[in-house]
């Protein structure tokens, strides 16, 4: 069986090459029934976004791009499989937000969710207001340097210092926990596992991190892949968002 069409030095097809293995975190995804899903897609819903295109056309697009005065979202021309969210501003709270408004996930008992993203910030990481994760439909997830989404699970930085917090909120009842401090132009991998409506475990660069968030802070309404890159003033940060994956049991 050929693997990704990769040939060895002798011209033979390699069955497995570790250099081509998945970048998704094994510790997070080892409990996800992806192989079962391949045989029976009815067991769950898989969103595997690899950014081979980006469509935010009002009538046909899967995504909605919202500007806070300015900002753009476009497929990168410098690296394959990357979406660039450019705040295009040096004014605090100005920038761009993207939501995949046609991909709904809904936490519920026994309907576990696995999700993972990878991104970096350039120019500069400590002058950016950020959100990455799932949120209810909200055109201003980050408003006046604060998260205004009443229902969400994800990571935010609204303090213009590069310090990410893991946050989840159910009907405005929210909590945050420590995550990591990002570095300039350096990718960070962030994931979570939602155990029905019991708990949410965060993963940072493939490692389970911190105390799980509890039932009181797990949204039980529709949430959607959501991303924000806004300026914290002085610089005009750009988010480079690699392909991401979300799976939920039906």
User: Could you read off the pLDDT of 10-36 as tens digits, one per residue?
Assistant: 555 555 566 667 888 899 999 999 999
Number of residues written out for the chain? 250
Structure confidence at residue 22 (pLDDT): 81
d(CA 146, CA 141) in angstroms, rounded, equals 8
* Range list of β-strands (E), 11-143: 44-49, 63-68, 72-75, 82-86, 95-100, 113-122, 128-135
In this prediction, residue 23 carries a pLDDT of 83
Domains annotated on the chain, with CATH: 23-249 (2.60.120.200)
Q: Cα torsion for 153, 158, 162, 166, to the nearest 10°?
A: -20
Closest CA to 88 of 99, 74, 108: 74
pLDDT at 2: 43
Query: Are residues 209 and 202 in contact, defined by beta-carbon separation less than 8 angstroms?
Result: yes
- For the chain (250 residues), the mean pLDDT of every run of 10, in chain order, is 50 60 88 96 98 95 97 97 97 97 97 98 96 97 95 97 98 98 98 98 97 98 98 95 98
The pLDDT value recorded for residue 16 is 54
Maximum distance among all alpha carbons in the chain?
A: 60
């Amino acid at each position: 069986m050929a693997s990704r069409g990769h040939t060895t030095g002798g011209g033979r097809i390699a069955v497995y090459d570790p250099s081509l293995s998945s970048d998704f975190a094994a510790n997070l995804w080892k409990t996800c029934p992806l192989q079962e899903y391949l045989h029976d897609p009815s067991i769950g819903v898989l969103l595997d976004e690899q950014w081979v295109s980006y469509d935010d056309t009002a009538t046909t697009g899967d995504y909605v791009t919202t500007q806070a005065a300015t900002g753009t979202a476009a497929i990168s021309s410098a690296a394959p499989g990357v979406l660039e969210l450019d705040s295009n501003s040096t004014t605090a709270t100005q920038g761009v937000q993207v939501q995949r408004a046609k991909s709904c996930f809904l936490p519920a008992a026994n309907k576990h969710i696995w999700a993972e993203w990878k991104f970096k910030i350039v120019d500069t990481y400590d002058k950016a207001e950020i959100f990455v994760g799932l949120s209810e439909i909200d055109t201003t997830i980050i408003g006046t340097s604060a998260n205004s989404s009443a229902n969400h699970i994800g990571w935010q930085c609204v303090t213009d210092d590069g310090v990410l917090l893991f946050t989840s909120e159910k009907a405005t009842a929210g909590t945050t926990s420590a995550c990591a401090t990002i570095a300039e132009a350096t990718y960070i991998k962030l994931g979570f596992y939602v155990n029905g409506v019991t708990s949410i475990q965060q993963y940072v660069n493939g490692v389970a991190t911190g105390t799980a968030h509890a039932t009181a802070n797990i949204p039980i309404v529709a949430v959607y892949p959501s991303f924000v890159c806004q300026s914290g003033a002085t610089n005009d940060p750009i988010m480079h968002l690699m392909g991401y994956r979300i799976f939920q049991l039906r």
